[in-house]
Amino acid sequence: MRPWIVLFGDFITEEAFGEGGWGAHLANHYSRSADILLRGYNHALGGAIPKPVRAFTVFFGANDAALPDRASKLQHVPAAEYRDNLRAICALLKKRWPSVVVILITPPPVDEDGRLR
């Protein structure tokens, strides 16, 4: 049985298999050695995931990183809470699949002044 690489995350992960998406590139790259499974945040993490799982990508934070003094402030998550959430997700994955490789992906920094120009 070929190993699985599971993509788990927010809306950016859910769009990973769109035209030119990063999930599609991974599936193409690993087409002979692993299967890629998409599990956006809205999916249950567990029973529907086949074994063996080789790696999990965890990609959250695009909305969480919203600045508290902007219109998107309702999506803001304080850095400490964001850190704790990622740690909890990683702990859950390692408990369920002890040998899995967890790859954390976070959004890049945003230059607010540059975006306004």
User: Is 90 among the domain residues?
Assistant: yes
User: Is 117 among the domain residues?
Assistant: no
> How many angstroms separate the Cα of 95 from the Cα of each of 22, 92, 98?
27, 5, 6
pLDDT tens sequence across 85-112: 889 989 999 998 999 999 999 887 766 6
User: Is 2 among the domain residues?
Assistant: no
The number of CA neighbours under 13 Å toward the Cβ of 82 is: 18
Query: What span, in angstroms and rounded, lies between the C-alpha atoms of 34 and 113?
Result: 42
Please state the domain count of the chain. 1
pLDDT tens sequence across 50-97: 778 999 999 988 777 777 787 777 888 888 998 898 899 899 999 989
State pTM to two decimals.
0.80
User: Is 49 among the domain residues?
Assistant: yes
User: Is 55 among the domain residues?
Assistant: yes
User: Is 113 among the domain residues?
Assistant: no
DSSP β-bridge partners for residue 55: 5, 101
User: Is 75 among the domain residues?
Assistant: yes
**29: domain range?**
13-108
User: Is 3 among the domain residues?
Assistant: no
